[in-house]
Chain A
Amino acid sequence: MSETSVSETSVPEGASVPEASANQPLPAAVHPAAARAAAARPAVARRASTGRLLATALLLTALAIGGTFLLDPYRNYQLALVAATFCATGGLTLLIGLSGQLSLGHAALMAAGGYGYALAANAVTEAGVDGVPRFLIGMAGAIAASGALGLLLGLAGARLRGPYLAGVTLAVVIALPAVTAVFPSVFRGDQGVQIAYSGVPEFLKLVIVVEQWQAWVAILVTAVVVTWLAALRRGRLGLRMRAVHGDETAARLAGVPTRRVKVQAFAVSAVAAGTGGALLCFIAQSVSPGAYTLAYSLLLVVAVVVGGLGSLGGALAGAVVVVLLPWVIGTLTAALALPSDLEQRLSGNLPVLVFGALLIVVMAAWPGGLAGAVARVSTPARGFSRRVLAALGRSSTGGAPQPVASVSPVASVSPVASDPLAPVPAPPHPQSVPTESER
């Protein structure tokens, strides 16, 4: 059975028995290899895998933190930006890839997080709070603001479908500058809100510089957010989200509270995006509507599609692309020594063009995104890869440059275990067994 057909037919069935115990055979939508492994594992696998999830998270976080010592300040700064962006793409990939709700307004949710952070941090700065407490209060503000907005959008999303939900989220991101302009005393209009500078803590001053400190903060916060997303993804909510995505009516018939699942998915994704926005605000010391445009919102969607919908590793790849591509292109055009007026015209516009081209190329070559491509490369000479290739080949001939939302059925079951970039390689779902064709 190919992955495409799995996602189309058997998701609701798998989800229709959410209470099923780990060893009860169910035709779930899973990676074939994962399915086989899960079948071999005893019932305690779930607890063990939670331990493994946390261990992997700790290991990767420690690695990332250690890595900052080897990077120069500018690369550490870029690393911090990647981490912050990863929060947003991680949440978005879960929302689109798993629950099938398309949000074009995630930049607005990041902005909500940024403003929440800035306003809360500024409020307590006036009260004399500083350092770590201020950061934590700011984060709480960010989570509250983005969570509230996400909940509102989620409630709308539960009643709307596809293009209509996309339209609502689109309206939010377009309305952002107007909102900040209508309440200038709070949001300070287009100028945005500036926050006080948070430097390296005293006891670390001799060891690290400020960019490395920012990278540490961003990595730690992102690790928490992404571990949370990974746990949700492989837990019951993830399963229900897949069920709702696969066939909403079937899921409802099977007792899945589809509305609640959709609202939850949106709120979770919003909080992740808001945390990313708060980190960007922490790094840039300011938040303004100009930073969260419609173009940026669309870029986030492109990033998760290019990365591979539903895959956290893909979301990381997407975040790297969003942050580094403009820089790489800028470096290249500078090296080409173009006429200055042409360079002026290209700068800023060329990255958008390349993003578009990248989207088309990746979708045509690997509809599963970069995560799917990595899966192809990293498991050579196995029957599995042949099957994936076949599946990918089939779906790509079916409609390679598909509209964003319709790519998701393929990618939503993107092979988790074959994702070396995933900071939290989520183990396979316990409720899964090999299907007939996957002996």
Chain B
Amino acid sequence: MFHSTPRRRTFAALTTSVALVAALAACSSPAAVSGGGEAAAAPGITDDTVTIGTHTPLTGPAAAGYSSISAATKAYFDYVNDQGGINGRTIEYLVKDDGYNPATTQTVVRELVQEDEVFAILNGLGTPTHTAVLDFLNQNEVPDLFVASGSTSWNQPEKYPWTFGFNADYVVEGAALAQYAEDQAPDATVCLLGQDDDFGDEFIEGAELVLGEGGLAHIERYSVSNQDVTAQIGAMQAAGCEINLLATINGFTALAVGTAAKLGWFPQWYSSSSGGDYPTLVGYLGEDLGPKLLQGFTSSNYLPFSPSGEWVALFQQINDEYNDGAPFTGNTVYGMSVGYLFAEALARAGEHPTRQGIVDAITSGDLVGNGIVPLAFSADIHAAYLGVGITTVDQGVQDFVGATYVLDGDTVEAVEPEDVPVENAGVPTGD
């Protein structure tokens, strides 16, 4: 009995696995994967649709700050689709949750590229998460557009020709805020609180471009997994800091401001765009205390955020109509601006978009976007914005103060902001 069963089982297992394998059959050989030559349409493109995808945290600790971005992008695409789409194609936007976990990012991005056969990855969120798929996307020549992170990693055209950033990078933001601090109060003691990863490192690098090596009087770092910055804030107070630069995400900006207030300390705060969104911060600090604590709060931004601007009016209207009237925050503007930039690139890629075609459209330097400084994209630069404007909060309204800085090599220059008018009701056309 014993001797007969394993053989029969092995046979059964064999036949089962062969049947399973045959059912899934699709060869992995390089020739089969790369498809049969140029004649085939680009992946994700049909006569009337373009399918793209993203990875973003919808669950987990990072979801609270970021899950509204993809919803805003989707709302903008829904709006564009209702206006007839781009070159007659509607945009299908697949959003996959990666829980801000690089291992999951690998899985969902492969799923998007290999299972769902998306045309491009748009606005993949997070430095550690997106780093995990950089090689994969570039090896498979998938356009990796407008990554949602200010790391300088995305701007390596030689190594990663298919990857493009979206955020003004952290070096630019650090430099611009340090320059603004120096312009406002040349003799102030400037300190910095930064996240203990590339975000903090690159922000410090930027600030020291302006203030010089050792120009920051005191530097403190924090880790996202530890929700207590009392020690860091205490040390900064003891060091006599007057202006605190913040390389923090929104939750920790609020934590820093709140902790300092508890210690009876009210220095000036200069935050990066990633952690300086006023509506989000008020959400953390509360409706009654938030506006008081954030009076005079300074932050950088490169997207249209003036409450009086026509972009904000358009996005607010789209948000009400297509996003169930979700809270209108910096994330909403961010998500819709990403959608707009993609739509513009797609429109410029022509009637028959290909993967190479959309990359060519971006590197041509013809894209305008909707930022307050011109887009920097070219064959040699894969960063979107090399400059930022300065906003402050006054009486509960966050708006630009007019100071705008661009990082040119290692020097910071003050420039005039450029407003991009809304054309064709915010639906880009090919010309």
Determine whether the beta carbon of B196 is less than 8 Å from that of A208: no
Determine whether the beta carbon of B10 is less than 8 Å from that of A420: yes
Q: Which residues of chain A are near B28, meaning CB under 8 Å?
A: 68-69, 71-73, 76, 208-209, 211-212
Residue A228 is within 8 A (CB to CB) of chain B in the complex: no
Complexed CA–CA distance, A67 and B225 (Å):
42
Determine whether the beta carbon of B102 is less than 8 Å from that of A284: yes
Q: A305-343: which have CB < 8 Å to B?
A: 327, 330, 340-341
Report which of A37, A207, A347 forms a contact with B3, defined as CB distance below 8 A: A37
Determine whether the beta carbon of B196 is less than 8 Å from that of A181: yes
Determine whether the beta carbon of A33 is less than 8 Å from that of B131: no
Among the 9-residue stretches B104-112, B175-183, B302-310, B402-410, the one with 4 or more Cβ atoms under 8 Å from chain A is: B104-112
Determine whether the beta carbon of A178 is less than 8 Å from that of B226: yes
A427 to chain B, nearest CB (A): 9
Q: B89-105: which have CB < 8 Å to A?
A: 95-97, 99-104
Q: Which residues of chain B are near A71, meaning CB under 8 Å?
A: 21, 24-26, 28
Determine whether the beta carbon of A348 is less than 8 Å from that of B196: no
With A71-B26, A211-B28 known to touch, is A420 a contact of B103 (CB < 8 Å)? no
Determine whether the beta carbon of A291 is less than 8 Å from that of B103: yes
A358 to chain B, nearest CB (A): 20
Residue A437 is within 8 A (CB to CB) of chain B in the complex: no
Give a binary string over B293-325; 1 marks a CB under 8 Å from any A CB, 0 the rest.
000000000000000000000000000000010
Q: Which residues of chain B are near A69, meaning CB under 8 Å?
A: 27-29
Determine whether the beta carbon of B111 is less than 8 Å from that of A74: yes
Complexed CA–CA distance, A181 and B136 (Å):
28
Among the 9-residue stretches B12-20, B203-211, B240-248, B338-346, the one with 4 or more Cβ atoms under 8 Å from chain A is: B12-20
Q: Which residues of chain A are near B74, meaning CB under 8 Å?
A: 340
Determine whether the beta carbon of A284 is less than 8 Å from that of B132: yes
Complexed CA–CA distance, A70 and B24 (Å):
7
Determine whether the beta carbon of B2 is less than 8 Å from that of A81: no
Determine whether the beta carbon of B196 is less than 8 Å from that of A420: no
Q: Which residues of chain B are near A68, meaning CB under 8 Å?
A: 28
A sample of 7 cross-chain residue pairs with beta-carbon separation below 8 angstroms, ordered by A number, consists of A37-B2, A73-B114, A77-B107, A177-B225, A181-B196, A192-B128, A290-B100
Give B residues with C-beta under 8 Å from A.
1-3, 5-6, 9-10, 12-14, 17, 21-22, 24-30, 33, 58-60, 67, 71, 74, 95-97, 99-104, 106-107, 110-111, 114-115, 127-128, 131-132, 135-136, 139, 196-198, 221, 223-226, 324
With A70-B24, A348-B97 given, can you name 20 additional A-B contacts, CB distance below 8 Å?
A37-B1, A68-B28, A69-B28, A70-B25, A70-B27, A72-B28, A74-B110, A75-B24, A81-B107, A188-B197, A190-B197, A209-B29, A209-B30, A284-B106, A344-B67, A347-B96, A347-B97, A348-B99, A379-B5, A417-B2
Give A residues with C-beta under 8 Å from B.
33-34, 36-37, 63, 67-77, 81, 177-178, 181, 184, 188-192, 194, 197, 199, 205-212, 280, 283-286, 288-291, 327, 330, 340-341, 344, 347-349, 378-379, 382, 417-418, 420-421, 425, 428
